[in-house]
Amino acid sequence: MITLEDKIAIGELVARFAHCSDYGDWSALEKLYTPDVETEMEGVALCFRGIAEQVEHAKVSERHAEGKNRHYNFNLVVSEEGGQVFADYMFMNVNAGHVAMGAKIVVTGRMRDTVVKMADGWKIARRFVRFDQNVDVTE
């Protein structure tokens, strides 16, 4: 059974993903995943498998947004079902831009992370993304 401390740690895991991904802390980002992590996106054939592909996708996003990629995650619900632990939340991905009033919402949606408790803390083992918009993810 997950505890209140587990729920707080899982919330921190989701927040650390955004911080590490958005500010280019690739070595810290690597530590948030299990070795066999997989990200699947509804309606998108592309899938990211393993830590290296997760980090490379973050790097590509950073390049496309010229270092201004930002993830905002909210409405987190942590649950346990059938022996698995899930972090369900909504997200908004924003290109912050380089000038005031220049930010643009790129995409919004919902994420479901399957998380596991390892010796060194909670890790993301699987991520399932449901976009609110039609998206074309090619990298």
Taking the chain (139 residues) in runs of 10, the rounded mean pLDDT of each run is 97 98 97 98 93 97 94 98 97 95 95 98 98 80
Distance between CA 21 and CA 11 in Å, rounded? 16
Give the Cβ contact number of residue 99 at 10 Å: 7
For residue 28, what is the DSSP state?
H
In a domain, 113, yes or no: yes
Distance between CA 52 and CA 101 in Å, rounded? 34
Residue closest to 103 by CA, chosen among 60, 70, 59: 70
Q: Six-digit token pair at 116?
A: 């596991």
Give burial (CB, 10 Å; 0-12/13-18/19+) of 139: exposed
In a domain, 11, yes or no: yes
Q: Is 60 helix (H, G, I), strand (E, B) or coil?
A: helix
In a domain, 136, yes or no: no
pLDDT of the residue at 45: 87
In a domain, 81, yes or no: yes
Amino acid in position 16 = R
pLDDT of the residue at 108: 97
Residue range of the domain that includes 47 = 4-131
**Position of tokens 């949606």?**
109
Per-residue pLDDT tens digits for 6-26: 999 999 999 999 999 999 999
How much of the chain exceeds pLDDT 70, in percent? 98
Tally of domains within the chain: 1
In a domain, 110, yes or no: yes
CATH of the domain at 90: 3.10.450.50
In a domain, 137, yes or no: no
